Amino acid sequence: MTEAPAPDDRILAALARIEARLDRVEQSLARTDALAGSVPATLAAVTDTIDEHIAQLTNHGVDVDDRIRRLVRLVEPLTRPETIDALRQSIETLREVPAMVATVADTVDGAISRLAEQGIDVDERLQIVARVAERLTAPEALAAVRELLGHVGAIQRLLESGIFAPGAVEVVDRAAGALADMDMTGVRPVGAFGAIKAMRDPCIQRSLGALVEFGRRFGRTVHTRANTDCKPCNE
C-alpha cells in the first residue's frame, strides 16, 4: 500500500502553490504599474496632438468651441427615443434592400427578355436614348433652351392663335405640297394680259377666292386690333 503524504509535505505543497500565485500576481501588478506609468506620457502626447489640430483649425478661421457646442446640440435630438426608433426602422429597411433590388432586377430582366422575343434590340434602344440625352445636355442645346424660355410668352400666344388648328394646318399642308410640286425652272413670266387670261382657269379662280377671303378676314382682324375709325370689311 502507498503511504499517505505526511502533513508537513501537504503544507509545503500548498505553500508552494500560494507562492507561485503570488509571483504571478506580482508580475501582473508590475505590468500594471508600467502601464500606469506610461499613461501620463500617453495622455500628454494625445493632448499635444489635439491642441495642435485645434490650433490649425483656429488658424483657418474655424471656431472649434462653436463646432463642439453645435455637435452637442446635435447629439441631443439624435439620442431621442423617437429618433432611435426611426433609425432602427431604417436599418431594418436597409436589410431588405438587397431582396428588393433582386426583385427589381428580375422584373427588368423579364421585361428585356420579352422585348427581345418581340424582336426589339434593347441595347440599341438604350444607346439611342444615351445619344439623345447627350445631345439634349450639350451646351448649345442648353443655350437654345434658355433662349426658348425667354420667349415663353410669345410661344404661348402663338399656341393660342389658332395657327395649329386643324384647318390652318391643312391649309399650310396644301400650300407646302403645291410648293413642293412646283418646278421653278419651268415658270415663265406672266404680264397683265397673261394674268387676266389665267383668271379663266378654275384653279386660279379658286386660289384668288381663297386669297380674297383671307384678305377680308385679316383686314377685319387688323381693324379690330388697331381700333381705327374705318368701317369693318363687308362679308
pLDDT, tens only, 14-26: 777 777 777 777 7
Residue 204 near residue 198 (C-beta atoms within 8 A): yes
Cα–Cα distance, 213 to 198 (Å, whole number): 19
Any idea where the domains of the chain sit in the sequence?
10-76, 86-137, 138-178, 194-227
Residue 212 near residue 199 (C-beta atoms within 8 A): no
The 3-class SS string of 146-162 reads HHHHCCHHHHHHHHHCC
Contacts of 220 (CB under 8 A, 6+ apart): 232, 233
Cut 0.85: pTM above it:
no
pLDDT, tens only, 123-152: 888 889 888 888 888 888 888 888 888 888
Cα–Cα distance, 156 to 160 (Å, whole number): 6
